[in-house]
């Protein structure tokens, strides 16, 4: 399983890449593997305000529908519209293909997210619980 070390993670399998006061948000490799073939992404509305834990968007796969939760608070300033035409990009490379760009209201919220090592441990525990 691929877990880039330069990102932050949530226990609900979202990743965050911070650039200044902006946060790119996507789903992890673990998430896309469990979802299976992604067939639809309902992108967040640009200009909308989100709080930590709010449903940011939803993803539908051949197996299930799943919400993606915002790991930070702020305003959605961009959404990756290429996912509307090609939702499977999230399966091909979930770390390259971000879902939303959020201008963070409280950048210190990132400090509460998991680093790569902690996220890897969380995934192992989740796998064991599913077995």
Over residues 21-39, mean pLDDT: 96
Report how far apart, in Å, the C-alpha atoms of 66 and of each of 4, 47, 87 are.
Answer: 23, 22, 14
pTM score, two decimals? 0.95
**Tens digits of residue pLDDT in 69-110:** 999 999 999 999 999 999 999 999 999 999 999 999 999 999
Say how far apart CA 78 and CA 92 lie, in whole Å: 21
* Structure tokens given for 111: 């400090």
CB 17 within 8 A of CB 98: yes
- What string of DSSP letters covers 103-118? EES-GGGGGGSB-HHH
């Amino acid at each position: 399983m691929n877990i880039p070390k330069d990102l932050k993670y949530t226990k609900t399998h979202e990743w965050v890449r911070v650039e200044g006061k902006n946060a790119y948000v996507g789903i992890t490799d673990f998430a896309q593997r469990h979802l299976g073939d992604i067939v639809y992404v309902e992108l967040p509305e640009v200009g909308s305000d989100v709080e930590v834990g709010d449903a940011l968007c939803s993803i539908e796969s051949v197996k299930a529908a799943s919400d993606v939760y915002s790991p930070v608070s702020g305003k959605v300033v961009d959404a990756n519209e290429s996912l509307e035409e090609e939702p499977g990009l999230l399966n091909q490379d979930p770390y390259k293909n971000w879902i939303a760009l959020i201008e963070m209201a409280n950048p210190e919220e990132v400090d509460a997210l998991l680093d790569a090592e902690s996220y890897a441990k969380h995934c192992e525990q989740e796998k064991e619980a599913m077995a």
